Structure 1
Amino acid sequence: MSHPERKNEEDAEQNPNNVVPYRVGYGKPPVEHRFQKGQSGNPRGRKKGSSNKPKIDMGHGMRAAEEYLRHEAFRPVTLREDGQLIELPAIQAVFRAMGVAAMKGNRFAQKTMAELVTGLEQRDAEARFELFGSALEYKQRWTEEIERCEKQNLPAPEPLPHPDDIIVNPHAGDVRILGPQTKEQKAHYDKAAARRFAAQDEVNYFAEKYRRARSEKRREMYLEEWHWEQRMFDIINDAMPERYKMKLENRSYRAGASRAGDTMKEFAEDRKRAPESRRWGDYVGE
C-alpha cells in the first residue's frame, strides 16, 4: 500500500493547475460510488411492513411488556375458514380456535371458554349496575337542586348532562343520555337551536309575504324561500332529542314542502356529496 504523503505528491504532480485533489477517506467515497443527484440511496424502498412496527414507549413508568402484548393480541393474522382466507385480530383467532375445539369435545377448551364467558357477563352486569346507580343518583340530586332554585327564584343551574336528558330504565337496568354531555356538544346544540329559531322567523316572514303577494312571480319566489327555511327547520328539529323538539308555525303542506320526521334521510344523502355541490349546505351554518 502506498504511503499517503507520497500519494498526495503524485496527485500534485498530475495536477498542473494546482487544484486541491479530492481525497478519498471517511465520509468521502470515490466519485463513481457517490449518490447521484435526484437518485434515491435506497432504490428498493422501505421493507414491507416496516411502517407497521409497534412504537413502544420505553420511558419511565411505561409497562412495555403490556404494550407489546396488546400489539400482538390485535395484530391481524390470516387463516383459512370454509375454504376462504379471512383476516382476524390474533386474539379473536385464538378464541375462534378455542370455540372450535370446545365444539369438538375438548373438555379443557369447554371449561376455559365457559369460565371466560361467565366472567365477562358478570363484569358486564356489575358495570351496568354501577352505571345505573350513579346515573340515578346524579339525576335525582340535580333534579332536586333545580327544583329548589326555582322555588326560591334563583337562577337554575345547567349541569351537563341535564337530569331531564338522562333516561333510566329500571326494568332493563340501562341508561340513555339524550342531550349534550360536554361543553362542546352544548355549544353545538345552542348553535343549531339558534338556526332553528331563525328558520322559524323566516318561515313566518315568507309565509306572510306569500299570502299578501299579488304577482304570481313573487308568490313563486316567496314560496321557494318559505319551503327552503321550512326544510332547514325540519332538518334541525328532526335531529334533536324529543325534549328539544319544537312545532313549526305556518307549516306549508304544498307540493315540494318538507315533512316533519322525513328530512334526515334526505339530508344524510346530501352530506355525502362534495361540500361545494351540497344542496342543503351546513344546517347550522350561516
Structure 2
Amino acid sequence: MSDEQLPVPYQVGYGKPPAEHKFQKGRSGNPNGRPKRKKPKPAEVDTGFGRKAAEEFLRREAYRTVTIREGDQVMELPAIQAVFRAMGVAAMKGNRFVQKTLAEMVTKMEADHHATKFELFSTMFDYKHKWDEEIERCRRLGLPEPQPVPHPDDVILDPNTGDVKILGPSTKEQKQRLDHALARRSEAQELVSDYASRYRRTRDASRKARWLEEWHYEQRMFDIINDIVGPRYKAKLQDRSYARGASREGKALDEIRRNKVMRSDYVE
C-alpha cells in the first residue's frame, strides 16, 4: 500500500517511515531473533605459584595506595597501613576493644617472628655442625673436601641474638658468580705484578706512564672485587702501588659510589 492509498493522510518524517518499509502485521521485524547477551568473563588473575585468586585480590586491596589526612598533612599509604594507623589512633583515644585487639595482634606477630627466627637458627646450627664434621672427616682421610653451598664457614650464628648471617654465596648461581669474580681477581693480581715489573724496568717515560696506567687499572679491579666478597674470600694484593691515582684497599667501593658506577660493571 502506497502513501496515496492510506485512508488518512500520512506524512513521512522522523519515526514515520514510508509504508513499504514499515513492519508488516504478523511478521517479525527481526526474523533471526534477539542476539544472546554475552556474560562478562571474570577478570583473569595471575595468582602465581601456590596462590588462590581470592588471596591475590585481598593482597591487592591490602596494598592498594590510599590517601589519608592527618591534621594539615596529606599522605599516601598502603590501605593495610592506613587501617593499622586508624587502629592506633583509636587505641590512644581510649577505645578498649581496639586496644585489646591491637595488643593481641602485636603479641602474636612478635611470637611468630621469634618462632621463625628460632627455627632458622636451629636449622642452620644443625646444617653447620653436620658439614663441619663431614669436612673434618674428609680432611682426616685425605679425601677431596666437599664444597657445600652455603659453606659452613660462611654461616655466622649469634647465640645471644639468634641472628643468622651468610657471608658468602647461598645458591649455586651465586657460587658461580663468586668463582667468576675470584678468577678475575687472580688475573688482576698477575697483571698487576707484570705491569709493576715492566714499570720498574723501563727507562722510557712514555712507556713508564703506560705501564703505570695499566698497573693502576688492574689494581682497581682487584680492590673492587676484594671489597665485595665476604671475609673468608679476601686476599692481599702483592706489588701494590701507592702512587697518586691508585686505588686503596677497602675503599674501592667508595670510589665507585662517588662516580656512580655499578659493581657489576667490574665483577661481571
**Paired residues for 1:91-110 under 5 Å:** 91-110=80-99
Distance between the aligned counterparts of 2:159 and 2:203, measured in 1?
Answer: 60
Give distance in 1, aligned partners of 2:75 and 2:132: 52
Residue 253 in structure 1 maps to residue 238 in structure 2: no
Q: Aligned residue for 1:40? A: none
Number of aligned positions between the proteins: 230
Partner-residue secondary structure (3-state), 1:111: helix
Q: Provide the C-alpha distance between the structure 2 equivalents of 1:57 and 1:214, rounded to a whole number of angstroms.
A: 68
* Structure 1 residue 244 displacement after superposition: 0.4
Alpha-carbon distance between aligned partners in 1 of 2:261 and 2:192, rounded to the nearest angstrom: 27
Secondary structure of the 2:76 match is: strand
Which stretch shows the higher mean deviation, 200-209 or 146-155? 146-155
Letter in 1 for 2:253: M
Residue deviations 1:220-249 (CA, integer Å, cap 9, x gap): 111111111101100000111111000000
Letter in 2 for 1:262: K
Distance in 1, matches of 2:207 and 2:214, equals 11
Following TM superposition, the consecutive aligned residue runs of length 4 or more in structure 1 with deviations greater than 4 angstroms are none
Q: What does 1:79-90 correspond to in 2, within 5 Å?
A: 79-90=68-79
Question: Based on CA coordinates, which of the two structures has the bigger radius of gyration?
Answer: 2
Match of 2:148 in 1: 159
- Give the Cα–Cα distance (whole angstroms) in 2 for the partners of residues 57 and 244 of structure 1: 42
In the alignment, which residue of structure 2 is the partner of 1:147?
A: 136
Structure 1 unmatched ranges of 5 or more? 5-25, 27-52, 274-279
| Corresponding residue number in structure 1 for 2:65 | 76
Deviations 1:147-199, CA, capped at 9 Å, x for gaps: 11111111111111000000000111110000001111011001100110000
Matched, 1:266 2:255: yes
The answer to whether 1:192 aligns with 2:181 is: yes
TM (norm. structure 2) is 0.80
Per-residue CA deviation, residues 74-123 of structure 1 (Å, 9 max, x unaligned), is 11111112312211111111100000011111111111111111111111
Partner residue of 1:282? Answer: 265
- 1:23-62 deviation per Cα after TM superposition (whole angstroms, max 9, x unaligned): xxx9xxxxxxxxxxxxxxxxxxxxxxxxxx974369xx96
**Pair 1:242–1:201, CA change in 2 (3 A):** same
Separation in structure 1 between the aligned mates of residue 162 and residue 51 of structure 2, nearest angstrom: 37
- Counterpart of 1:222 in structure 2 is 211
Counterparts of 1:42-53 in structure 2, within 5 Å, are none
2:124 maps to which of 111, 135, 140: 135
- Structure 1 contact 202–226 (Cα < 8 Å) conserved: yes
Q: Counterpart amino acid of 2:70?
A: E
Distance in structure 2 (CA, Å) of the matches to 1:210 and 1:63: 66
CA distance in 1 between counterparts of 2:228 and 2:84 reads: 40
Distance across 2 between alignment mates of 1:54 and 1:269: 47
Aligned residue for 1:157, secondary structure, equals coil
The alpha-carbon distance between structure 1 residues 62 and 175, as it changes in their structure 2 partners (threshold 3 A), is closer
Provide the aligned C-alpha RMSD in A. 2.4
Match of 1:14 in 2: none
SS in structure 2 of the partner of residue 79 of structure 1: strand
Contact 1:80 1:86 in 2 (8 A): yes
Distance between the aligned counterparts of 1:180 and 1:3, measured in 2? 82
* Residue in 2 that maps onto 1:168: 157
> Which sections of structure 2, spanning at least 5 residues, go unmatched?
1-18, 23-31, 33-41
1:114 aligns with 2:103: yes
Identity across matched positions, percent: 56
Contact 1:54–1:71, Cα closer than 8 Å, also in 2: no
Cα shift at 1:281: 8.2
TM-score normalised per structure 1? 0.75
